[in-house]
Amino acid sequence: MKINAVTDPSFREYGQIVEGYDKEELLAILRSEMEIAETMAYVGAAGALRVIQAFYPLLKKSSGTALVVSISSEAGSIGTCYRTGMTDYAITKAAVNMITKTLWNVWKDDEDMNILCVHPGWVRTNEGNALAPFDSYEQAETLRLLFETRRNVKDGNLFLTYAGEVYPW
């Protein structure tokens, strides 16, 4: 049987021959996550690459070390994953982390370029997360200060919390 990762029908067909799980429950979870996963990946991961590509010539012209910062999340950490949902968001943030690591590999010996990704903490950015502990403006300043201290640091610690602590991939 052929399985095509791009088309849903082949996966549903394959699911008919697999036994031992609640197929309807699994399909419901996958349907709800897939409805927005493609858009999130397109904007969140591919968009990050497009922005870096567009600004790269300007970054190379900057005086001193240019710092590219990817805003990630604890959701992008595979090692600390506790989630049972929001797979679309987690996939996008894990992709952002991989983009960061790959570009760091490219730029690790380039004194003019540096990159890192940061988990900014849970920030109040809209009404949906009004319980978040961090104000967006205050957290922006916290992050700005972190970026200043990390601009020229190339120690391989690329995934950091807002407090500058190394976060597991």
> Would you list the DSSP string of 112-165?
TEEEEEEE--SEE-SGGGTT-SEEHHHHHHHHHHHHHHHTT--SS--EEETTS-
Stretch among 45-54, 79-88, 135-144, 159-168 having the lowest mean pLDDT: 79-88
Percentage of the chain lying above the pLDDT 90 cut: 64
Q: How confident is the model at residue 26 (pLDDT cuts 50, 70, 90)?
A: low
pTM of the predicted structure, to 2 decimals: 0.79
Mean pLDDT within 38-66: 91
Query: Average model confidence (pLDDT) for the chain?
Result: 86
Domain region containing 140: 9-161
Instruction: Identify the H or E element spanning 91.
Output: helix 87-107
The number of distinct structural domains making up the chain is 1
CA distance 25 to 103: 38
Instruction: Provide the strand spans (E) within 5-51.
Output: none
Query: Residue 156: which of 101, 79, 118, 76 has the closest Cα?
Result: 101
CA distance 27 to 148: 46
3-class secondary structure, 37: helix
Query: Residue 168: which of 114, 101, 84 has the closest Cα?
Result: 101
**Quick check: 66 pLDDT over 50?**
yes
Q: How confident is the model at residue 13 (pLDDT cuts 50, 70, 90)?
A: low
CATH of the domain at 117: 3.40.50.720
Question: How confident is the model at residue 3, as a pLDDT?
Answer: 46
pLDDT in tens, 103-154: 999 999 999 999 999 999 999 988 778 899 999 999 999 999 999 999 999 9
In a domain, 145, yes or no: yes
DSSP single-letter state for residue 44: I
Q: How confident is the model at residue 12 (pLDDT cuts 50, 70, 90)?
A: low
In a domain, 71, yes or no: yes
Does residue 87 contact residue 30 with C-beta atoms inside 8 Å? no
In a domain, 83, yes or no: yes
